[in-house]
Amino acid sequence: MTGTHNQGFDRLIKAADDPSKQTKEKFLIQTGNSEIKPKNCEWKKFFTPLDLEKKIQESSLVITHAGAGSIINCLKNKKPTVVVPREKKFNEHVNDHQIELAEILDKEGKVVLCRNLTELEKKIKEAKNLTIPKQNNKGIIKEIELFLGE
Partner 1 sequence: MKLCIACSAGGHLSEIKQIEEYYKKHKHFFISFKRLDSIELAKQNKVYFVVDPKRNPFDLIHNFIQTFFILRKEKPDAVISTGAGVALPALFISKLMGKKTVFIESFCRIKSPSFSGKIAYNFVDLFLVQWKQNLKFFPKAKYAGAVF
Name the site residues for partner 1 (rule: CB under 8 A): 4-5, 46, 48-50, 66-70, 72-73, 75-76, 97-98, 100-101, 104, 135-145, 147-150
133-137 long-range contacts (CB < 8 A, ≥24 apart) are: 133/75, 133/108, 135/75, 135/76
d(CA 92, CA 54): 26
Q: Which is nearer to partner 1, 17 or 82 (CB)?
A: 82
Q: Which is nearer to partner 1, 24 or 146 (CB)?
A: 146
Q: Which is nearer to partner 1, 60 or 144 (CB)?
A: 144
- CA proximity to 107, closest of 133, 125, 88: 133
Least Å from the CB of residue 22 to partner 1:
32
Least Å from the CB of residue 19 to partner 1:
31
Q: Which is nearer to partner 1, 83 or 114 (CB)?
A: 83
Helix/strand/coil for 132: coil
Least Å from the CB of residue 8 to partner 1:
16
Alpha helices (H) in the chain, listed in sequence order: 10-17, 49-58, 68-76, 97-107, 120-127, 138-148
